[in-house]
Amino acid sequence: MFQRATRLSVRLVERYLPDAYVFVLIFTALAAIAAFTIEQTPPLELIRYWGTGFWELLGFSMQMLLVLVTGFILAKTPPVKRGLTWMASRCRTPKNAIVVVTLVAMAANWINWGFGLVIGALFAREVARFVKVDYRLLVASAYSGFVIWHGGLSGSIPLTIATEGHFMQEAIGVIPASDTIFAPFNLLIIALLVIAIPLINRAMTPPDQDAVLFDPPEDPEPPAPAQDQSPAERLEHGWILSVAVGVAGLVFLADHFIAGGGLNLNIVNYGFLMLGIVLHRTPARLLAALQEAIKGGAGIVIQFPFYAGIMAILVGSGLATTLSEWFASIASAQTLPVLTFLSAGLLNMFVPSGGGQWAVQAPVMIPAAQALGADLPRVVMAVAWGDAWTSMLQPFFALPLLAIAGLKIKNIMGYCLMVLFAAGVIIGLVFLLF
């Protein structure tokens, strides 16, 4: 029965789900129609919100592009490639490969979501060289690990409220990570997902005759230096200058952590780049890897501004606040966390940013929690888990992973929908019962 449900989900998605770019155009139209219908926002005002907000994610777009590029550059270095190859060679059967890829992706995403997206995709590609397994499910398994990121060490909402000076400090104070990320209810959610999701992915493994296989192309040979080199070519193929700069970057990185600095997206990208510079040794090798990496970044460049415009429509029109207020109005102290989780999951389809969602929902959900006497850390983490949960349906964060894997969103979404349903039930029940 589970196999039949999976096949139906995959067939429907592959037939009816458009490319991710068309997907974001549809969501733009839906956001505008909903704001016009529910909030009665005039069309010209909606266009102004959309146009003004269109470039609000430029910094984040560049960060995401660098997640793809720097992660790919690092993975193409000989030591990292040997490590991934060794791990991939330990996978023996299709079902074993699916479970291992899922667990590796979940562990990496718990540490840092940017790191997890890159490692998951690269590991899936490498495993495909050794095991004849459905490549679509393999990549979907890598992406399914992303569902736990907001309950992990890089969760933007729990880290925000644990920092002095956050915008809700007057209302809730500073809430330490021990009450959110390391709270028993949050660790229970993670434990249940770590058990359930690999088993669900394993159960979706199709019979050998139905598997769609993928043979990743062989890596091109690094550029060889010419016999009669010009001074410029000697610099491009020399290692002293490049390694010196990379080592200086690694010294900064070590100093950052020794001084108590945390792991964020900028630090992940910085670390990937500096390690890539050192391990590639020469500028010519690094630039060759860069040329290969940059090809997959088109989706990020063109689609993220549209998501910024969608966020501006929902926030500017007041629709995001209206949705949050409606969920809060029907809640009790016991049901507020699970209703907050559901509302955050819905909003994530249009506002796929943890920080953006917190800015919208915190002024509504926190007063509701205080008025009802609900547990504040649970309500906060309900927003965080809702943001992560429907990422299984929202292609925003899948774009860099798909670029590395060489697939389209419709190739993996049928499998991700099964994970979406299972994860939603698990997370919702924990918020409701524990």
Domain hosting residue 174, numbered range: 57-217+294-433
pLDDT tier at 356, thresholds 50, 70, 90: confident
The pLDDT-based confidence of 75 (bands split at 50, 70, 90) is confident
Tens of pLDDT, residues 182-236: 999 999 999 999 999 999 999 999 988 888 988 766 666 666 666 677 888 888 8
Across 138-142, average pLDDT? 97
C-alpha separations of 7 from 3, 17, 164, 180 in Å: 6, 15, 49, 37
Cα(317)–Cα(46) distance, rounded to whole angstroms?
A: 7
Q: Judge whether 97 lies within some domain.
A: yes
For the ranges 112-121, 188-197, 281-290, 317-326, the one whose mean pLDDT is highest: 188-197
Average pLDDT, rounded, for the chain: 90
Look at 37-41, 137-141, 221-225 and tell me which has the smallest mean pLDDT.
221-225
Q: Provide Rg for the chain, Cα atoms.
A: 22
Query: 35-46: buried (b, 16+ CB within 10 Å) or exposed (e) per residue?
Result: bbeebebeeeeb
Q: What is the mean pLDDT of residues 247-269?
A: 87
| Overall domain count for the chain | 1
Residue 9 lies in a domain: no
DSSP state of 218: P
User: Is 7 buried (19+), middle (13-18) or exposed (0-12) by CB count in 10 A?
Assistant: middle
pLDDT higher than 80, residue 295: no
pLDDT score, position 138: 96
Residue 339 has pLDDT above 90, yes or no: yes
Assess if residue 241 is contained within a domain: no
Q: Is residue 62 part of a domain?
A: yes
Tokens 């770590």 belong to: 194
| Domain membership flag for residue 373 | yes
Report the percentage of the chain scoring pLDDT > 90: 59
- pLDDT band for 151, please (50, 70, 90 cuts): very high
Report the C-alpha gap between 332 and 327 in whole angstroms. 10
Quick one: tokens of 387?
A: 């943001």
Residue 103 in any domain: the answer is yes
- At 50 the pLDDT is 96
Residue 4 lies in a domain: no
For the record, the structure tokens of 342 come out as 């559901």
Look at residue 245 and tell me if it is in a domain.
Answer: no
pTM for this prediction:
0.86
Quick one: which of 351, 305, 309 has its CA closest to 51? 309
pLDDT band at residue 342 using 50, 70 and 90 as cut-offs: very high
The angle subtended at Cα 133 by Cα 130 and Cα 139, nearest 5°, is 95
pLDDT at 294: 84
pLDDT per residue as tens digits for the range 378-396 = 999 999 999 999 999 988 8
